[in-house]
């Protein structure tokens, strides 16, 4: 609510400032009807905002000014300097109230009746005496101690969206240029001085990028704030009882995206209240509570936002929808013959479709769900409608981020390159590993992954590409879509990981459900960004429930359910090169790197290797490192710097119980945790990163 109040204060101040200037200009030319109408709309908007936040004194003041201006608009009153003065004093009074609200202080003492009385037609001849005090009380009688102190106001700046777009575009170009420069530096070989400067520049650019991105973001609860009034008014008009519930109000959206979905969301809610909910008597006869529940939820999955509007009403009768579409000539009988129930339900998206028998103020004009779909697709999103007769309907709007910088993996699929978001990537698995097993269950293929059967999807088939390699030679990107379920996506190879600027693509491409945008790789190659969530939906392995993706069916061997606390206690259990079992918190592990062991050099007990064009220290190596083959490294990042720890083998992702027990005297170890009744030392990532920092400084 604090964010809503801050937005109200900022917007009201802006409108009051504009209102004062317009009043002065109108006073010079009272015949300017267009300016008078604009002033009236300003006053009306201020009144509505004050009423929403339950500020009765503010609402009464703004309403009085609105009434006086409306009298002039209707020709019942002549404009005069006295009227303008009275309205300006009301504006000043409202400003005092707004300042007090912003400073968290009590509203100004005394009533506002004399300010309101000055607006009446009978007060045209009042003098210009100050109206800051109550009648009969002179301003000079007010002592210094009683005079209200000017509050300390935290000012805000409102910027045009076009300027923010230019800033974001500039930062996006800087990120691409930084990536290109980094690739060039890696090709040239490592230089400690240049590398240090480049890393500092990268850190600064990341901070600027984050700040610019956050400037464009706002919580979706600001959009939700006006919906309870909408639902209340509609339900009263239709003589229904509807309770509205919200989920995911803390999800942040681009400000421009919020405005783009306002109308589609309003249409969806109007349809739900009008067509979805039954009257109280009908609900009672069906064994339902008299009051229906409309749930509006938002959730983020990768670079997609899912907005779900669901009700517990009567549901959609597919046969009734089909008959109505046939009656209106939107489809013919031959088309209906081959339609499934789901396809018949989705006929509600046809332009001109309506099941209302008569035209009312709410519905019946054939304008509704087609507007929802058209507006969502216009911004590169999609709409999914599901319904069960007698139980309710769920409408899910999938919204892409129109301009976003995200961490991605660039992958090779049948000789073509694509990128996929790194968010949700659990692990990258090589099909050639000896302990890798595949199972054919029904029509699907499942990968044995850490004791679980994970469904596999071959992206080359989904993208309809020719080529591909043998299953054992492929790489599997395991992506987590919910706390309990995973999907493994088969690619030919993972090429690189990099930051990418995802930009919108043509709606025709987005409508395929395969791509969410396009970007340029570090070498300047244009590639498409894969929409992993939509691909999972298209494959039938996922469904959208309460606004969150879930896998359809039970595919896990274990039925354990992760909780938020359990996730925090997950650790990577591994064997070090001294043959001692250790662990690292999963929350601190960035990823697992694989390098050639032959590239590692040892000097004075310290092991180093060139990784990504930069000289890096490798902790965890004891004795002679392997002379050939591959070397696995745990990568974690601290204060913008990457550090590495060498391991011999991965045991599993395990649950640590009992918390951290300190007392270890071993270097680079901060304590012990219990894994399966055995104490296991946990490496100290901060100490390892500090050692890497010292080596880097010495190198410079």
Least confident of 134-143, 411-420, 667-676, 678-687: 134-143
Query: Mean pLDDT, to the nearest integer, of 483-498?
Result: 79
* pTM for the model: 0.45
Contact 218, 252 (CB under 8 A): yes
Band (pLDDT 50/70/90 cuts) for residue 71 is confident
Query: Mean pLDDT, to the nearest integer, of 678-693?
Result: 81
The tens digit of pLDDT for each residue in 165-217 reads: 788 778 877 877 887 788 788 778 777 888 888 888 988 988 887 788 777 77
Least confident of 24-28, 326-330, 407-411, 431-435: 431-435
The tens digit of pLDDT for each residue in 4-42 reads: 677 777 777 777 777 776 776 777 778 888 888 878 877
Band (pLDDT 50/70/90 cuts) for residue 147 is very low
More confident residue, 391 or 553: 391
Write out the H or E segment, with its range, that includes residue 631.
strand 630-638
Task: Output the pLDDT for position 418.
Answer: 92
pLDDT at 392 over 80: yes
Helices (H), 146-249: 161-188, 192-215, 221-224, 227-237
Task: Output the pLDDT for position 359.
Answer: 40
Helices (H), 78-160: 81-103, 113-117
Contact 430, 469 (CB under 8 A): no
Task: Output the pLDDT for position 560.
Answer: 35
Contact 405, 175 (CB under 8 A): yes
Strand blocks (E) in 486-600: 486-491, 493-502, 515-520, 526-530, 542-544, 549-551, 570-575, 581-585, 591-596
Band (pLDDT 50/70/90 cuts) for residue 469 is confident
Task: Output the pLDDT for position 679.
Answer: 86
Distance CA 455, CA 449 (A): 10
Query: Mean pLDDT, to the nearest integer, of 538-543?
Result: 60
Written as six digits, the tokens of 276 are 């979805």
Task: Output the pLDDT for position 551.
Answer: 32
Q: Are β-strands 630-638 and 641-647 bridged in parallel, bridged antiparallel, or unpaired? A: antiparallel
Write out the H or E segment, with its range, that includes residue 448.
strand 444-449
Contact partners, residue 517, CB within 8 Å, separation at least 6? 303, 380, 400, 404, 502, 503, 504, 505, 528, 529
Query: For residue 440, what are the β-bridge partners?
Result: 445
Q: How many CB atoms lie within 10 A of CB 458?
A: 18
The pLDDT > 90 percentage for the chain reads 1
Contact 298, 547 (CB under 8 A): yes
Band (pLDDT 50/70/90 cuts) for residue 647 is confident
Task: Output the pLDDT for position 131.
Answer: 41
Written as six digits, the tokens of 309 are 């509007």
More confident residue, 54 or 380: 54
The tens digit of pLDDT for each residue in 231-288 reads: 877 888 888 888 888 888 778 777 777 777 888 888 888 888 888 899 988 999 989 9
Strand order in the sheet with 404-413: 493-502, 404-413, 416-421, 526-530, 515-520
Contact partners, residue 403, CB within 8 Å, separation at least 6? 165, 168, 169, 172, 254, 501, 502, 503, 504
More confident residue, 539 or 559: 539
Task: Output the pLDDT for position 79.
Answer: 79
Query: Mean pLDDT, to the nearest integer, of 635-645?
Result: 78
pLDDT at 137 over 60: no
Band (pLDDT 50/70/90 cuts) for residue 550 is very low
More confident residue, 168 or 393: 393
Task: Output the pLDDT for position 361.
Answer: 41
More confident residue, 481 or 194: 194
Handedness of CA 527, 532, 538, 539 (dihedral sign): positive
Band (pLDDT 50/70/90 cuts) for residue 485 is low
Gap between the terminal Cα atoms of the chain: 50
Query: For residue 543, what are the β-bridge partners?
Result: 550
């Amino acid at each position: 609510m604090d964010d809503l109040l801050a937005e109200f204060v900022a917007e009201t101040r802006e409108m009051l400032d504009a209102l004062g200037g317009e009043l002065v200009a109108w006073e010079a030319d009272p015949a300017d009807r267009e300016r008078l109408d604009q002033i009236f709309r300003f006053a009306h908007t201020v009144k509505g905002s004050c009423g929403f936040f339950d500020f009765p004194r503010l609402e009464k003041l703004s309403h009085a000014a609105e009434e006086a201006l409306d009298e002039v608009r209707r020709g019942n009153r002549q404009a005069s300097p006295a009227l303008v003065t009275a309205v300006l004093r009301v504006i000043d009074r409202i400003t005092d109230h707004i300042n007090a609200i912003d400073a968290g202080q009590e509203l100004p003492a005394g009533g506002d009746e004399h300010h309101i009385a000055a607006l009446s037609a009978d007060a045209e001849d009042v003098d210009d005496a100050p109206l800051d005090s109550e009648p009969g009380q002179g301003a000079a009688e007010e002592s210094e101690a009683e005079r209200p102190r000017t509050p300390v106001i935290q000012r805000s700046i409102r910027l045009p969206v076009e300027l923010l777009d230019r800033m974001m575009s500039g930062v996006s170009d800087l990120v691409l240029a930084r990536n290109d420069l980094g690739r060039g530096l890696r090709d040239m070989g490592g230089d400690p001085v240049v590398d240090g400067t480049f890393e500092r520049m990268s850190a600064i650019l990341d901070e600027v990028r984050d700040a610019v991105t956050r400037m464009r973001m706002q919580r979706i609860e600001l959009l939700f704030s006006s919906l309870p009034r909408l639902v209340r008014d509609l339900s009263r008009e239709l003589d229904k009882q509807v309770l509205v519930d919200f989920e995911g109000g803390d999800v942040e959206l681009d400000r421009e995206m919020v405005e783009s979905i306002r109308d589609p969301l309003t249409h969806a809610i109007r349809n739900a209240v009008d067509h979805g909910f039954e009257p109280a008597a009908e609900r009672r006869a069906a064994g339902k509570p008299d009051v229906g529940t409309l749930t509006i939820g938002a959730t983020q999955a990768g670079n997609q936002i899912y907005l779900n509007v669901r009700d517990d009403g009567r549901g959609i009768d597919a046969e009734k929808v089909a008959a109505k579409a046939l009656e209106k000539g939107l489809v013919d009988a031959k088309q209906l013959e081959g339609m499934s129930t789901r396809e018949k339900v989705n006929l509600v998206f046809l332009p001109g479709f309506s099941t209302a028998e008569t035209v009312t103020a709410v519905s019946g004009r054939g304008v509704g769900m087609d507007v929802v779909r058209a507006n969502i697709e216009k911004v590169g999103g999609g709409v999914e409608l599901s319904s069960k007769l007698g139980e309710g309907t769920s409408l899910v709007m999938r919204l892409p981020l129109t301009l976003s910088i995200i961490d991605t993996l660039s992958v090779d699929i049948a000789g073509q390159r694509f990128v996929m978001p790194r968010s949700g990537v659990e692990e990258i698995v090589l099909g050639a590993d000896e302990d890798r097993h595949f199972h054919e269950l029904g029509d699907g293929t499942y990968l044995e992954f850490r004791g679980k059967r994970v469904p596999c999807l071959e992206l080359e088939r989904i993208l309809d590409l020719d080529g591909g390699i043998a299953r054992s030679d492929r790489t599997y990107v395991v992506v987590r879509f919910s706390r309990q379920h995973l999907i493994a996506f088969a690619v030919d190879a993972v090429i690189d990981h990099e930051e990418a600027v995802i930009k919108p693509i043509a709606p025709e491409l987005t409508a395929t459900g395969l791509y969410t945008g396009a970007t340029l790789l570090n070498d300047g190659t244009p590639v498409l960004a894969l929409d992993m969530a939509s691909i999972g939906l298209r494959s039938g392995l996922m469904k959208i429930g309460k606004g969150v993706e879930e896998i359809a069916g039970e595919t896990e061997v274990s039925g354990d359910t992760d909780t938020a606390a359990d996730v925090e206690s997950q650790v990577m259990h591994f064997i070090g090169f001294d043959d001692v079992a250790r662990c690292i918190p999963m929350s601190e592990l960035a990823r697992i790197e694989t390098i050639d062991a032959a590239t590692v050099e040892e000097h004075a007990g310290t092991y180093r290797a060139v990784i990504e064009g930069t000289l890096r220290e490798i902790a965890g190596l004891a004795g002679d490192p392997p002379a050939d083959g591959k070397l696995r490294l745990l990568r974690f990042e601290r204060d913008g710097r990457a550090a590495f720890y060498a391991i011999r083998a991965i045991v599993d992702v395990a649950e640590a119980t009992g918390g951290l027990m300190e007392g270890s005297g071993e270097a680079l170890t901060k304590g012990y945790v219990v894994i399966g009744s055995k104490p296991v030392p946990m490496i100290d990532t901060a100490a390892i990163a500090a050692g890497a920092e010292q080596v880097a400084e010495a190198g410079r």
